Amino acid sequence: MNDAPRNDTRKAELLSSVVEHIDIKSFDARPIVDAMKKMSFTSRDLGRAAEIYNQMLADPDCAIFLVVAGSTSAGGCMDLYAELVRNNMVDGIVATGATIVDMDFFEALGHKHYQALEIPDDDTLRSLYIDRIYDTYIDEESLQETDHTIAEIANGLEPRPYSSRAFIREMGKWLVANGKKENSLVKLAYEHDVPIFCPAFTDSSAGFGLVKHQVDRMKAGQAYMTMDSIADFRELTDIKIAAGTTGLLMIGGGVPKNFIQDTVVCAEILGHEDVEVHKYAVQITVADVRDGACSSSTLQEAASWGKVSTAMEQMVFAEATSVLPLLASDAYHRGHWQGRAKRAFAKMFD
């Protein structure tokens, strides 16, 4: 951080409107979702996606994975994801490091995301240490505090390799003692034994904190912890093998989407030829299918790789913050989660 003077008054003006996270319990989306099922285009797609998610919840044999890429947590869906964990509506999470660290853990430390009600040129934002995600602001100084907190957590651990799941569990444990927000996904996942995997964990604020931990330890001639990405894949595959029937609720795509889908192939390579493909799958995305990327690849395309069944899958091409609250509220109020068996997959690794 440079020492150039900043206009703190201007910064305070820009960081004045806090993003408020939607509460899926506060409204009942069932009537509108039912109506959308009788429409066409994206509305009907969303209606079918809601039906499939409710089927996952109603299926006593189905373990559900929430898969998140993109910035929906910063954009107002953070409490939505927390409610899915709190109400036993998901059994495991695969997400980007940004979703888990830069957004959820960041707010658990007491920081906020802000609506960008006006957007000056981005050089001005940089001079004020304000980071921009489309129409949302983050205070860079608060983000760097998050980096240093990650380093502090790493400093307190035994110097050995950790999967992202193991390290994020330590983050959740730290939040129980030190956090400033009850509705944190990381904290709730720790308390409910829901494992969180970030296959590209260091591609986030966690990376800065872990690099600082490693460099400081190297300078001091001390041993340091490392991240074990192979353990990530092995542990998630172990869960898939143990789970049997599985369903995917995917927001965005990218690395988390491919990572959870690949567990089927990995299980086969390990000799579990009877492993089931993911029986249910929903993906909400705005990615263009024409670029050949994983984010945009359809779930039917995934079937050609032996990852997903085509019987109960639905793509919803929409910006997720505009449709996900409807899907989640619909599922919450239909109540199939009530009485669902709690799988507590995190206990597999205790």
307 carries an active-site annotation: yes
**CA gap 35, 325 in Å, rounded:** 16
CA 49 to chain centre: 19
Amino acid at the residue 127: S
**CA gap 197, 303 in Å, rounded:** 23
The pair of three-digit structure tokens given for residue 209, joined into one six-digit string: 């904190």
Inter-axis angle of helices 164-178 and 140-155, nearest 10: 110
Cα-Cα-Cα-Cα torsion 42, 43, 47, 53, nearest 10 degrees, comes to: 50
The string over 290-317, giving b where at least 16 C-beta atoms fall within 10 Å of a residue's C-beta and e elsewhere, is: eeeebbbbbbeebbeeebbbeebbbbbb
**CA gap 326, 348 in Å, rounded:** 33
97, HSE (Cβ side, Cα atoms, 13 Å) = 19
DSSP-based three-state secondary structure for 117: coil
**CA gap 186, 116 in Å, rounded:** 26
For the residues of 166-204, what is the DSSP string, one character each? HHHHHHHHHHHHH-S-TT-HHHHHHHTT--EE-TTTTSS
Express the helix, strand and coil content of the chain in percent, nearest 5 each.
50, 15, 35
CB atoms closer than 10 angstroms to residue 159: 15
Amino acid at the residue 268: E
Contact between residue 22 and residue 79 where contact means Cβ atoms under 8 Å apart = yes
Within 262-307, strands assigned E span 278-285
The residue from 38, 212, 307, 342 that is catalytic is 307
Tell me which residues are annotated as active site. 307
